Structure 1
Amino acid sequence: MSTTAATLNGAMPLASGRFLDNPVFHNQLPAAILETLFMTGATAIIVAIFGLPLGILLHNLGPKGLTPNAPVYRVVSLVVDIGRSIPFIVLMISLIPLTRFIVGTALGWQAAVVPLSIGAIPFFARLVENALREVSAGKVEAVKMMGASSGHITRQVQVREGLPGIVGGFTVTVVALISYTAMAGAIGGGGLGALAYNYGYQRYEGDTMIACVVLLVIIVAVIQWAGDRIARGIDHR
Structure 2
Amino acid sequence: MGKEECKTMLDALNKVTACYRHLVSALGSTSDSQNLREEMKKTRRKAQELAAANQTKLTALLKDKSISNDERAEYERLWVLFTSSMEILEVDMRRSLEIGQDFPLKVPTRHFIQTGMTGSTVTVAARAMSMQNLKYEADASIDTADLKDLEAEIAQLDQMMEEMEMKVQVAPWAVEAKLEAGAELKSTASVGNSSVGVISICDEEPKDGEESDAGVMRIFAGIIFTVVLLIAGILGYLVVSL
Determine if the TM-score, normalized by the shorter chain, exceeds 0.5.
no
* Structure with more helix by fraction: 1
Question: TM-score if structure 2 supplies the norm length?
Answer: 0.29
Please say which structure displays the higher CA radius of gyration: 2
Question: TM-score if structure 1 supplies the norm length?
Answer: 0.30
